Structure 1
């Protein structure tokens, strides 16, 4: 992925990693469009950061995704990068039937949202030079955090989806990049003040550095996430799972 001169759409661009990436990519010389559900928050961000644009979009709504794809095809015909970042992360008690709607919401937002966005935007991306689909997954795709079972499952599914997408797009100009963060200090799971989570600015700096240094990369995995990403291959999966099994219990 080239790190400048793109036209980029980022879902979930109003907070956390999505917001941070939007600012860093904007500063690097890209046209950035952030997508989110709350117009007032989108307007605040675009006012504070002139040059960033926004679109109201709820990734749980298939019709809204189709409208957004049509709108952006007209307003930004050179859109060449889609960053699927929108997601939720909530704990579940699998012994409590009241947790089932939480599980279903994770699948709708994290998994179906990304799949629907990809289907909606890919035909136009495929006509662009230097096109990219970037899916934000998680190190928990590879070793689960047991208190967030469906979150982990959606991220594992997105890892698999990204692998298949990359193979199907072989021979096209569309690059598929998976970014698998560790726990990062954001409001996701109230980790903004957690000593166990990576500071957001550090994550963004390392991620942008890796993108610049590895333009052809399939995966971007910061150092702090690599233990979990490669736990199975390195024979430490049980140790990694034991570490996460006590978190939040």
Structure 2
């Protein structure tokens, strides 16, 4: 069986066995020990005990998420997922253990997986075709010290690698908020400029009886200082943050109105 402390356990729905085999073959080709039921011989107390023992002993747990797992509300793979989550209860926070892999276009924010899976970095391998970067990252995690703060990257809370489209949910919401913050900062800089710049201008005295002075119309000071504030548009994917744009527009109009 080899060194169980360096083994990878693949968990998958039986419809995804071809994708699981491709991932297993690629990892094994680079010397990684992989556990998965490639013969689909499932059933019996001895087999169940073996699976439980492997999940307790493996170094990385790799659940394959797909449309097939979405469609199946029951399946032994869900028991495997629960066993892996239960094991994390005994682990220090920050240790890389669960490495969710999506093999199709299933979105993580709507996937039928344990909530614990969403705390880890997801990786996309379409049709279960592993990339060299994925294999290298798995090997790096297996060779890294098993302690918190030592296992960034795949399976942890760090940024995604090789364009894996595996952004955590928290990061999705931070982008529109950062954009709104930048817009607000720029808007208030514009307001401060118009509010603080000198409002007096040097006027050349003209005799009262001068014909030219009587012919010139008075300067429209309001037109000289006019500024148009167009409505802000929410350009982010998160439509729920649209009210930020409306609030910024109203705040700017109010602040400009108070400028003498």
TM-score by shorter chain over 0.5 = no
Greater relative contact order, per chain length (Cα 8 Å cut-off, separation 6+): 1
TM-score of the two chains, using structure 1 as the length reference = 0.43
Larger Rg: 2
Q: Which has the higher strand share?
A: 1
